[in-house]
Each structure stands twice: as C-alpha cells, then as structure tokens.
Structure 1
Amino acid sequence: MKPYQSIPIRDCGEPLIAIPLVQFSVETPHPYQKLGASYGEKSPYYLRSKVIEALIQAQTYLQQQYSGWKIHIFDAYRPVAVQQFMVDYTFTSLLKEKGLTLDSLSETEKDSLWQQVYQIWAIPSDDLTTPPPHSTGGAVDITLIDNQGQLLDMGGLIDELSERSQPNYYANHTDNLGQTYHQKRELLNQIMTQAGFLRHPGEWWHFSLGDQMWAWQGQKAVAYYGRA
C-alpha cells in the first residue's frame, strides 16, 4: 500500500463527464487505445465535472502568460482494466528492452522489475478503498503545446521509466538546456496548482484534484473522489 491509499474516501457523487476537447490539445486516437487498451463504453477523455472546470481555469492562467498556448491532455480517466493492461504492457516492454525472458528470471529479479513498473504505475486494485488515481476521474496526465501547435520539450517523455520523470530532475542543472526544461515544468506546475491541482511527487506530468493522492499531499482528512 502506498501512503496516500490510507486516506479515507467519501465520494461526493460528482459525475464523470466528457472533457470539452475542442478547448484543449489531444492525441487521436488515444495513446493507450493505439496500444490495444479497451475502454469499453468508457472514454479516456472523461474527468469529474469540477476537475474539468479547474483544468479550464489552469489553461486560462497559461494563456494569460502565453497567448495561444494550450494544455495537451495525454490521459485522463482510466478504468481499472486499462490500468492492468498498461501495467502488464510496461512490464513486458521492460523485459524486451533488457533482453530478458520471464522464464529466465528469479523471483528477486521479477520483483526488481515490478518495482520499476510501479514507480510510475499505480497498482490496478479492484478494492474500492484503494482505487488507482486515474480510475477516480480526479487525475490527469498533461503537457503543453505552444501557439504553433508544437509540443514543448519537457526533458523527458510521459510514462518514461527513468529518473528524468522526477519533477525536479533538472532543478540543479546549471546548463541552459537543463534550466529550460526545469522552467517549463515549473510553468506547468504553477498553472495547475493555481487552479487547485497538486502534482504527483514522482511524475512531472501527473496532476490530481480530489482523489486520495491530492488529499494526502494537501493534508486533507478525506478524499472526495473514489473509483468512478
């Protein structure tokens, strides 16, 4: 169990609704759907209604500083089944990347690989008291595009299994490029926190509002979004 999962949930019953995608930048088809993840009747571009309101507000803050820039939504709502799909996909990809086969691994080696996977992926729990953040409709993975429609280079990819995923990885870099990456990440964090979100401590792209992680980080007594 991760520390934030100890926070009790009192779901407020707020609806999960479609994000007004015309206001943002998105990738079509959705990145995980391209890999084969099935959402069934659900959509990855859904969030709780007040989370969408806050996301629109964050983009307003962005455009007050940089006219024409937009939030690029990489991922939002994620059913537990999709969480499981992506966890399994990441583990299999890690095996291939390292030139390993499952049968050749000791239990210790398997555990080590799983620990790497779970650095950025929440456990796909069916327990209603410990839902993956994205399964609540209160978490969103984002980056930014400029007024030319180009994705900003943030010094690392979303879902990257490396130290570069740490939000402050470039904070102490003295070179110009490293400082530029850090400034872009800080801009993203600034507009989101100004709108009420909190950033995942280990992922520069992941922000939440109302779920257990948000409550834990903000020292709230309860979370008000459970599994949607």
Structure 2
Amino acid sequence: MKYYHSISIQDCGEPLVTIPLEKFSIELPHPYEKLGAIYQGKSPYYLRKGVLDALLNAQTYLHQEYPGWNIQIFDAYRPVQVQQFMVDYTFNLVIKEQKLILENLTIQEQQAIWEKVYQIWAIPSDDHATPPPHSTGAAIDITLVDNQGNSLNMGGEIDELSGRSHPNFYINSSSKIERTYHQRREILNKIMTQAGFCRHPKEWWHFSLGDQIWAWQKGESIARYGRII
C-alpha cells in the first residue's frame, strides 16, 4: 500500500483520448517499448480527456514565457502489465548494476532491492482500489526541450533510482549548474501546477490530475480517475 491508497475512487467515466503528438516533443520509439514492454495494442500516448486539456493549457503557459520551448512527453497511459514489466526490469537492472547474483541473495536482501525499486515505481496492483497512477490515464512523465529542440538537462534522468529524483534535490546547492537544474524543474512545475496538476513528491518529472496522488495532495477525499483496463 502507498500513502495515497487511502483515497477512495469514484471514476467519472471520462474516456482515454489520443494525445496530439504534433503539439509536443516525444521520443520514438517509446522508451519502454525499446526495452521490450508490450502494450498489447494500446498506446502509451493516451490520457483522460480532462487531463489532456490541462496538459495543452500547460503547453500554452510554457510558450507564453518561453517561446519555442515544448513539453516533452516521456510516458502517459501505462497498462498494468507494462507497469509489471518495468518493475521487474528495474529490479533486474539493480541486480546487474550491483553485480549481484539473484540465486545467491537472501530473502531479506531481495526485499531490500524491492523496497528500493518501489521508491520510484508504483506497485502493479490489479486491485481497482489501488491502481498504479499511470494506469488511470491521469498521470504523465515529462521534461522540457528548448527552442532548438534540445532536451534540457534537469539534473537527473527520468526513472532514476537516486536522491536526484526528488524535486528539490538541488534547492540549496551553491553550484551554478545545479541551481540551473532546480530552476528548470521549477519552470516545469510552475506551468503544470498553473494548469491544475500536482507534482509527485519524490519525482521531478511525474505530474497527475484527478488520481489518488492528486487528491491526496489537494486534501480531497475522492479521486475522479481510477484504473482503465
């Protein structure tokens, strides 16, 4: 259970709609598809209608302050089976990076790795009361590109398992470049919150609107978006 799972869900029935990719910057093929994730005919570039409308507003706010810049969409709708794939992939990646052998690990050592994985990744739950945020169509992972089409360095990679993923990791840094990272994260946060989104407390790239995390952050008792199969 995550802290936000205490929030009840009353799905409003709003449909998933296609993100107009020509209005944003994207990476093709999709990052998780490159790793082998299978969407089974579904697309990662979908959002709930109200969430997409808010994202388009955020893009407008960005253009008003930084002409030529764009939101770059990393990931949006994520079926539960893709969530499971990425959780397993990340677990195996940690083992590989630490040069460990799974068969030699104790249950406690494996559990410690899982706990690290779940610092970033939501549990791929099939329970409709505890859906992964991206499986609701109400969450999106994004970054920024400048007016030359270059992805801006935000001081950490999306999905990175480190303290650098925390939104305010660089807030007290005396380094000029690290202050720039924080300023860029704040630009992203400003346009998204202006459009109605909330930023994930532990992920600078993750924003949602209407799901359980959003409701928890807003002090709402009910989320309007639940899991979409």
**If the length of structure 2 is used for normalisation, what is the TM-score?**
0.99
Q: How far apart are the structure 1 equivalents of 2:136 and 2:175?
A: 39
Alpha-carbon distance, 1:15 to partner: 0.2
AA aligned opposite 1:154? M
Paired position in structure 1 for 2:181? 181
Count of matched residue positions in the alignment of Structure 1 and Structure 2: 228
Paired position in structure 2 for 1:5? 5
AA aligned opposite 1:170? Y
Paired position in structure 1 for 2:226? 226
Paired position in structure 1 for 2:28? 28
Structure 2 residue 197 is the aligned partner of structure 1 residue 209: no
Can you give the 5+ residue segments of structure 2 that lack an aligned partner in the other structure?
none
Alpha-carbon distance, 1:108 to partner: 1.2
SS at match of 1:82: helix
Structure 1 runs, 4 residues or longer, greater than 2 Å off: none
SS at match of 2:8: coil
Alpha-carbon distance, 1:112 to partner: 0.7
SS at match of 1:85: helix
AA aligned opposite 1:191? I
CA RMSD of aligned residues (A): 0.5
Can you give the 5+ residue segments of structure 1 that lack an aligned partner in the other structure?
none
Q: How far apart are the structure 1 equivalents of 2:133 and 2:182?
A: 25
Structure 2 residue 48 is the aligned partner of structure 1 residue 48: yes
CA distances 1:40-95 after superposition (whole Å, capped 9, x unpaired): 12100000001000000001111111101000000000000000000000000000
Alpha-carbon distance, 1:212 to partner: 0.4
Q: How far apart are the structure 2 equivalents of 1:175 and 1:102?
A: 39
Percent identity over paired residues: 66
Paired position in structure 2 for 1:72? 72
**If the length of structure 1 is used for normalisation, what is the TM-score?**
0.99
CA distances 1:138-191 after superposition (whole Å, capped 9, x unpaired): 000000000000000000000001100000000010111111000000000000
* 1:96-135 superposed matches below 5 A: 96-135=96-135
AA aligned opposite 1:28? L
Q: How far apart are the structure 2 equivalents of 1:96 and 1:207?
A: 29
